[in-house]
Amino acid sequence: MTAYWISVYQEITDEAKLAAYAELAGPAIREAGGRFIARGMPEEVYEAGRMTRTVLVEFPSVEVAREAHDSPAYQEALAALDGGAVRDLRIVPGVE
């Protein structure tokens, strides 16, 4: 079953570290089977929504998404981020 990696940036504290992370994370995620669906700032927010950067990535399964997160290539990207952002990252199974 398809799974979605949802990352909401609660705070960006270092743009240079975020850029270094993005340079490594994009290829690592794609090579692990991820497909970027949405990335950027919201056009609208409702209810308790906040104007924060959000990234949505589709994976073939929850297991593939977990493996992508735990891969050496993505861990290298996280090391480059090194506290440059506070994020809420979750993997959510799709519905059929």
pLDDT in tens, 63-86: 999 999 999 999 999 999 999 999
Q: Within 13 Å and on the Cβ side, how many CA atoms surround 84?
A: 15
pLDDT tens digits for the chain (96 residues)?
A: 999 999 999 999 999 999 999 999 999 999 999 999 999 999 999 999 999 999 999 999 999 999 999 999 999 999 999 999 999 999 999 997
CA angle 87, 88, 91 (to 5 degrees): 130
Each domain of the chain, given as residue ranges in start order, spans: 1-91
pLDDT of residue 27: 98
What secondary structure letter does DSSP report for 83? T
Candidate CATH numbers 3.40.50.300, 3.30.160.40, 3.30.70.100, 3.40.50.2300; the one for domain 1-91: 3.30.70.100
Q: How far apart are CA 38 and CA 79, in angstroms?
A: 23
Please report, as a single letter, which amino acid is at residue 77: A
